Amino acid sequence: MIAGMVATLLLYFGANTYIFIRLLQALSAAPIAARVAFVVLFWLAAVSLFVAFAMRGVEDGVWLQRLLFTMGSVWLVFLLYMTLATVVTDLLSLILPAFKCGVWYALGATVLLLTYGYLNYRNPHTETIEIQSDKLQNCSLRVVAISDIHLGYGTTRKMLEQYVERINSLRADVVLIVGDLIDNSVTPVRQASMCEVLSEIETTRGVYMALGNHEYISGIEESLDYLRTTPIVVLRDSVTTLDSQVAIIGRDDRMNRRRKSLEELVAEVPDELFTIVLDHQPYDIALSEQSGVDLHLSGHTHRGQVWPLNWLTDAIYDQSHGYRLWGSTHAYVMQGLSLWGPPFRIGTQSEIVVIDLKGFNTTTSH
């Protein structure tokens, strides 16, 4: 693990050095003051995310933490595409003289791509699926499922207000949050009084949540204390029942190595109930199928957020996103309503998932 972290840091600072040198060469004719300003701003952006993490949880200077976090997370994606684009233009310059100053073409292309990625991120897609089951006698239930909201310095109160307004427009019977409601620290969430906004979610049967790895990163006890100030019911290795026909199982996150097994939790549910499992990280979908679960919901992957990282998540997980039927088990892995860090979606999609559950002899009223 340490070797991997060292390799990642070397790759990160290697890419920064490459882009720094190419841009500095392009600015060779600029006044010395402009080049000095460039050097300072470039390396400030390069290290800002590390500084933001070092300040995590500090009560004072929240505005500075937010600024550094935003700058650093944007820089991650800028660096990725700027490096790829510059490599391409440098290779083209070997055969096409017009690309001798190709770093400026690379910069323009990167800025345009990031603009598209930001607009795509800020406009979540609503995916609607319908599931019928003979376990749902004369019952229809609209489930609105979301994951990976990452409230904090990236996803602000204003953005949360927009999300809640969007959720309420879908007229949910029940809202399910499948982990990572909080990002890296409870501090900015508490200071922005986001519990007030979470209290405005409108449902007929409540809001339920399973924990994600970021609730642990934020401090699990602090996260749980904060969630108790909201109407959200946290299902931590526990089960709740709706309308005597639907059982919702909320698994603790894999960060807790002592969490209950899925078999233990399923054993608490009568066979005749339609069973929904909330499990933030999508590693155990096959186990849900073996256990006779009717609907498995996960998040966590973000599907990599930006290309080509979606190729990586598609390779890591048997199901990295979207809907799939595993035997008789319906499974949906959400790409996330918001995201961690960089505010861009390129090759992926922010999403809210609407699941209309009904029996074979009922129709939905939504």
**Which has more confidence, 154 or 253?**
253
List, for residues 147-159, the tens digit of each pLDDT value: 999 999 889 999 9
Angular region, 206: left φ>0, alpha ψ -120 to 50, beta rest: left
Alpha helix stretches (DSSP H) within 96-137: 102-121
Instruction: For helices 102-121 and 2-26, give the axis angle rounded to 10 degrees.
Output: 120
List, for residues 82-114, the tens digit of each pLDDT value: 999 999 998 888 887 776 778 899 999 999 999
The confidence band for 49, taking pLDDT boundaries of 50, 70 and 90, is confident
| C-alpha span between 80 and 306 (Å, rounded) | 10
| C-alpha span between 343 and 352 (Å, rounded) | 17
The confidence band for 229, taking pLDDT boundaries of 50, 70 and 90, is very high
Only one residue has tokens 């290779």, namely 91
List, for residues 136-188, the tens digit of each pLDDT value: 887 889 999 999 999 998 899 999 999 999 999 999 999 999 999 999 889 88
Reduced to 3 states (helix: H, G, I; strand: E, B; else coil), residue 3 is helix
- Is the sign of the CA dihedral 196, 197, 202, 206 positive or negative? negative
Q: Token digits for 84?
A: 């790829």
- 351-358: strand order across its sheet: 125-132, 351-358, 140-146, 174-178, 207-210, 233-234
B/e letters for 316-331, b = 16+ CB within 10 Å, e = fewer, are ebebbbbeeebeebbb
Question: Could you check whether the bond before residue 282 is cis, i.e. omega within 30 degrees of 0?
Answer: no
**Which has more confidence, 58 or 3?**
3
Domains and CATH numbers, the chain: 2-121 (no CATH), 125-358 (3.60.21.10)
Amino acid sitting at position 282: P
Q: Token digits for 336?
A: 């996330």
Amino acid sitting at position 324: R
